[in-house]
């Protein structure tokens, strides 16, 4: 199995991919767009993208990419995230002048960063990529916020450990793929829809699920490009698409939603967690 992820070796996306299949061949990509392209056209059969963090919130770019691409969601993974402040051996907090990391990681460590005086905070495309930058350029007055594995890979040592604002820092990743996992029993469905701009439209949409006892575990709105102040709504449903109540709710919603698309129906993380550390099986 080949799994595409965004970032350098040592990125949290790489760790999430290992939770999917420890023996998988991993394909590192510079951008999230490349992850989708790698799955849609090859060489990867699956891709993994972060979608939500328990501290930093949603990764909006990936919601947009789910809409503009047509690779379905086939699973999800939750990963505990522990951040470390990594620097070259011999560096010290007193001499620190810059800290590099992904914007999400910086947001997750905001309290710690406020304790650093006269330090420039620099946003980058990747946590592990930030560690690579510090190591490759031998930046003695800089540090990166990244994983312990990134420090091991790039020869950096921690100036501080577990610096995230909350100990229960968890990122939820979506698995996208051209084919489903074998023996995976869906119990969750992700959809995206639009609504007419009229009073009670969102209430009417949500009632299609509430009246049938279907729990919405996530609701996210995103602007529609080129149509100011109009929105798409992304929702996660705690039900399989083919279950009769869910199927009827979606049919009800389709009666008045100008746009409705199922992004995937798949096994939730809770349904998969009990199988770890066994790798996911895929359809041959």
The pLDDT assigned to 42 comes to 83
The set of catalytic residues is 171, 173
Q: Residue 152 in contact with residue 86, Cβ under 8 Å?
A: no
The pLDDT assigned to 280 comes to 41
The pLDDT assigned to 273 comes to 63
84-161 and 188-270: identical CATH topology: no
Token digits of residue 265: 């129906």
Nearest CA to 20 out of 41, 44, 49, 48 is that of 48
Provide the residue ranges of all domains of the chain, joining segments of one domain with +.
2-80+169-179, 84-161, 188-270
CA distances (Å), origin 169, targets 57, 198, 224? 11, 38, 30
A 10 A CB-CB count for 212 gives 16
β-bridge partners, 247:
none
At the second CATH level, the architecture of 84-161 is: 3-Layer(aba) Sandwich (3.40)
Q: Residue 137 in contact with residue 122, Cβ under 8 Å?
A: no
> What CATH number was assigned to the domain covering residues 2-80+169-179?
3.40.190.10
The one-digit pLDDT tens for each residue of the chain (284 residues) are: 999 999 999 999 999 999 999 999 999 999 999 999 999 998 999 999 999 999 889 999 999 999 999 999 999 999 999 999 999 999 999 999 999 999 999 999 999 999 998 899 999 989 999 999 999 999 999 999 999 999 999 999 999 999 999 989 999 999 999 999 877 899 999 999 999 999 999 999 999 999 999 999 999 999 998 999 999 999 999 999 999 999 999 999 999 999 999 999 999 998 666 554 443 434 33
The pLDDT assigned to 275 comes to 53
The pLDDT assigned to 277 comes to 44
Listed in sequence order, the residues at least 6 apart from 184 whose beta carbon sits closer than 8 Å to its beta carbon are 74, 75, 266, 267, 272, 280
Residue 72: half-sphere exposure toward Cβ, Cα within 13 Å = 16
The pLDDT assigned to 136 comes to 97
> What CATH number was assigned to the domain covering residues 188-270?
3.30.70.260
């Amino acid at each position: 199995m080949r799994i595409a992820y965004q970032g350098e070796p040592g990125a949290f996306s790489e760790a999430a991919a290992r939770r999917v299949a420890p023996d998988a061949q991993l394909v590192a990509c510079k951008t999230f767009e490349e992850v989708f392209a790698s799955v849609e056209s090859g060489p990867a059969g699956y891709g993994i993208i972060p979608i939500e963090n328990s501290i930093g919130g949603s990764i909006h770019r990936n919601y947009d990419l789910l809409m503009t691409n047509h690779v379905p969601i086939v699973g999800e993974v939750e990963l505990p995230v522990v951040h470390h402040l990594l620097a070259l051996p011999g560096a010290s907090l007193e001499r620190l002048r810059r800290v590099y990391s992904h914007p999400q990681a910086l947001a997750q460590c905001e309290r710690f960063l406020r304790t650093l005086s006269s330090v420039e905070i620099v946003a980058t495309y990747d946590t592990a990529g930030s560690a690579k930058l510090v190591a490759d350029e031998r930046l003695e007055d800089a540090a990166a916020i990244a994983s312990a594995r990134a420090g091991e890979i790039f020869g950096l040592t921690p100036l501080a450990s577990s610096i995230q604002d909350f100990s229960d820092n968890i990122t939820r990743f979506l698995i996208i793929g051209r084919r489903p996992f074998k023996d995976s029993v869906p119990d969750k469905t992700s959809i995206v829809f639009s609504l007419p701009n009229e009073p009670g439209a969102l209430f009417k949409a949500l009632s299609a699920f509430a009246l049938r006892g279907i729990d919405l575990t996530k609701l996210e709105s995103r602007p529609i490009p080129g149509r100011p102040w109009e929105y798409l709504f992304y929702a996660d449903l705690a039900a399989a698409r083919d279950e009769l109540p869910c199927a009827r709710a979606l049919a009800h919603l389709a009666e008045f939603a100008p746009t409705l698309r199922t992004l995937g129906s798949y096994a939730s993380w809770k349904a998969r967690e009990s199988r770890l550390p066994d790798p996911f099986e895929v359809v041959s």
